[in-house]
Amino acid sequence: MSSFKIDIREMSNINVLDLKGYLDAHTAPDLEKVFQNLLERKKYNILINCKDLTYISSAGLGVFMAYIEDVRKNNGDIKLSNMSPKVYNVFDLLGFPLLYDITKDEKEAIQKFTSPKKL
Amino acid sequence: MKIHSQTEKLEFVRTFISEAAQQFGFDEDSVQNIVLAVDEACTNIIKHSYEYASNKDIDIRIMTDDHRFEIIITHQGKPFDPKSVEIPDMPAYLASYRKGGLGMYIMRAMMDEIEYKKLPNNITEVHLIKYLRNKISR
């Protein structure tokens, strides 16, 4: 079995997802379910902590693509933090840093959620 | 190695490719890139060629020659020519919030060559090739 785990923490109005292990075509549906559940509950501020994410393929990246529009329409965002260089390289290759806020750590991402948006 | 067309088998494919690429002499980054490309190729076959039918076969072979490391993935699902897919302009692609189609982009970026062969009996081969630049010839 592919080892992939998602832990969810709620901090004020931000839902933090701690991803652990391998995010591929087999495990991406697990992440989709979590996103669906968050959106059903109108939770639109989502922070993905990638500290323990060891691998990501396009199936995993596709999940972020699938939900970002809905989340932003509702004045929320999907931000990502604590990426290893290996995982960041895949995001970077596809130009994701242009579209997503990818921060060094959780603290920086939370600050961006809570501070007023810069134009 | 032969696997059934199931996404849960991807981790076995990754281990198989990773060990072979390491043994061949690729550095850690190149090993990761090759593994990712093969994962994407197999995922495409499972999703698009076999349309998630879980009892079909995917055969994965590795052929090496001097500096050349070649992975040959064989299936009998719907033929799909990776070369027929245009490389997307990523900023425009991202701005349109599209989902899917990223796998092909990754495969092309990670490998030196991709070949596609349509054989008799509805057999399709996808060849992913990477060259080891600094290998010392024996």
Residues in Cβ contact with A111 at an 8 Å cutoff, skipping those fewer than 6 apart: none
Task: Read off the pLDDT of residues B81-95 as tens digits, 9 standing for 90 and up.
Answer: 666 666 667 666 666
Please, what is the average pLDDT of chain B? 89
Domain positions in chain A are 4-114
pLDDT of residue B86: 64
Residue B124 lies in a domain: yes
Residue B138 lies in a domain: no
Set of chain B residues whose Cβ sits within 8 Å of the Cβ of A69: 97
ipTM of predicted assembly, 2 dp = 0.89
- Cα distances from A5 to residues A29, A50, A75, A101, B103, in angstroms, run 12, 11, 27, 22, 23
Q: What is the 3-state secondary structure (H, E, C) of chain B?
A: CEEECCHHHHHHHHHHHHHHHHHHCCCHHHHHHHHHHHHHHHHHHHHHHCCCCCCCEEEEEEEEECCEEEEEEEECCCCCCHHHCCCCCHHHHHHCCCCCCHHHHHHHHHCCEEEEEEECCCEEEEEEEEECCCCCCC
Task: Read off the pLDDT of residues A36-50 as tens digits, 9 standing for 90 and up.
Answer: 999 999 999 999 999
pLDDT of residue B138: 47
* Fold of the A4-114 domain: Transcription Regulator spoIIAA (3.30.750)
**Percentage of the residues of chain B whose pLDDT score is greater than 90:** 75
Task: Read off the pLDDT of residues A70-83 as tens digits, 9 standing for 90 and up.
Answer: 999 999 999 999 99
Of A55, A57, A65, the CB nearest to B98: A65
Q: A62–B109: do the CB atoms touch at under 8 Å?
A: no
* Chain B nearest CA to A58, separation (Å): 5
Residue B127 lies in a domain: yes
* Chain A nearest CA to B43, separation (Å): 7
pLDDT of residue A116: 61
* Chain B nearest CA to A12, separation (Å): 28
- Interface probe with A: pick from B18, B34, B44, B94, most Cβ of A within 10 Å: B94
Residue B42 lies in a domain: yes
Over 80: is that where the pLDDT of A32 sits? yes
Residue B129 identity? I
Distance between CA atoms of A42 and A36, rounded to whole angstroms?
Answer: 10
Over 90: is that where the pLDDT of B135 sits? no
Helix (H) or strand (E) run with residue A98 in it: helix A96-99
Q: B91–A2: do the CB atoms touch at under 8 Å?
A: no
CATH number, domain with residue B6: 3.30.565.10
Domain count, chain B: 1
